[in-house]
Amino acid sequence: MATPMIDDLELKAVQLLRHESENVLVGHSIPGLDGTLQQRLGRKSHRVYLQGYLLPDSATDDLKTLQTKAAGKDEVTFTADITTALSIDKMVIESFRAEQRVGPAGQILYSMWLVESPPLPPPAEVSSFGGLGDFGLGDLGFDPGALGNIAGAIADKAGALADLAEQAAGAIDKLQALGNLANLGNLGNPIKPVADQIGRARQLQTTLKGIGDAVKAITG
């Protein structure tokens, strides 16, 4: 058995090592299914419990080192056979206890809990609908890719609405200019019925542009 180590400190007289791991699960009741479907959302940090003795020849110095690390809450590197199969980079000392008992002079009994301290993930990728794929929707039967395709289609429609609004604006401006050339007070003017609709058309233009801008804002 390899000697467990915290950073460069060898723990030569470890008596007990215990590893604990716990998944984070959410149960889903499915009609017609006996039992509950379990969706895994990840896991909690790995935890390791140590108990052992600090030997007389270096007990005082080793105790000082461990107490300093525990009080500082700095991340430490822990290596031991019990964590060989685990992907643990750094841990922190969650709790530390030391006792002096009747026995060999200078021998100190200690125990501690080490808890995994994983690195922060990279910044979340910005995508349509805020990256729904990161929330495990695939596990529930949703296809995040399909949602992305829908978002793209909506964005295309938003662009088409914006183009239609621009075209409507050009046509309205031309009608307005044509109407200004005639006497719009004359009810017999053939341009009069068209000119009367210019105000309504401008309202439609504003509405189309508003819809296009809103959809673009939602889809990114």
Per-residue pLDDT tens digits for 32-60: 999 999 999 999 999 999 999 999 889 99
**Strand order of the sheet with strand 108-116?**
13-20, 47-54, 108-116, 91-100
Q: Note whether 54 and 107 are within 8 A (CB).
A: yes
Residue 211 pLDDT > 80: no
Using pLDDT thresholds of 50, 70 and 90, give the confidence band for residue 70. Answer: very high
- 13 contacts: CB under 8 Å, gap ≥ 6: 52, 53, 54, 55
Per-residue pLDDT tens digits for 87-116: 888 999 999 999 987 766 778 999 999 999
Beta bridge mates, 125: none
Q: Note whether 71 and 41 are within 8 A (CB).
A: no
Q: Please, what is the Cα angle at 40 between 38 and 46, to 5 degrees?
A: 130
CA-closest candidate to residue 139, choices 44, 41, 43? 41
CA-closest candidate to residue 96, choices 84, 81, 82, 108? 108
Tokens of 122: 């990279």
Model-wide pTM > 0.95: no
How many CB atoms sit inside 10 A of residue 126's CB?
8
